[in-house]
Amino acid sequence: MAQDKGNKPAGVTPYGYRYSDDKKSIVINSEEAATIRLIFSQSQTGKTIQQIVDMLNGNGLFTRQGKAWTKATVHGMLRNTFYTGVLTHQQTAISGNHEAIISKVQFGKVQKQLERRHK
């Protein structure tokens, strides 16, 4: 299976990425990746998920489908290790064959921030 080799996730390609022209790998979608970086940086500075959603929607940045952002979508993105270059398949982390958008250090800081807010 392709996902066992870290090539691509099962299902929809995560926001921030697209299939390469040959459809055999996943590459960064630079416009969407800028939004991912913005989401993570805003979270890291202490913004709540609702504040991030309001900022995205207020600035006319919408999902790939052209819809408004929701808290659930942004929260899922903030928890998705795929953005660090890691593919998780059946709760097993595999080094992906795709470029990271977010560093593992920044991802870790955001996770700590989310945990603090959750308490």
Q: Is 40's pLDDT higher than 70?
A: yes
List C-alpha distances in Å: 47 to 19, 22, 43, 51, 117.
Answer: 31, 39, 5, 6, 10
Q: Quick one: pLDDT at residue 4? A: 43
Rounded to an integer, what distance in angstroms lies between the CA atom of residue 42 and that of residue 88?
24
Confidence of residue 3 (pLDDT cuts 50, 70, 90): very low
Rounded to an integer, what distance in angstroms lies between the CA atom of residue 9 and that of residue 119?
31
How confident is the model over 53-95, as pLDDT tens digits?
Answer: 999 999 999 999 999 999 999 999 999 999 999 988 777 888 8
Task: Please state the rounded mean pLDDT for residues 15-36.
Answer: 91
Q: Is 21's pLDDT higher than 90?
A: no
The answer to whether 39 and 114 are in contact (CB under 8 A) is no
CATH class of 2-118: alpha beta
Query: Residue 21 contacts by C-beta under 8 Å, 6 or more apart in sequence?
Result: none
Listed by start position, the domains of the chain span 2-118
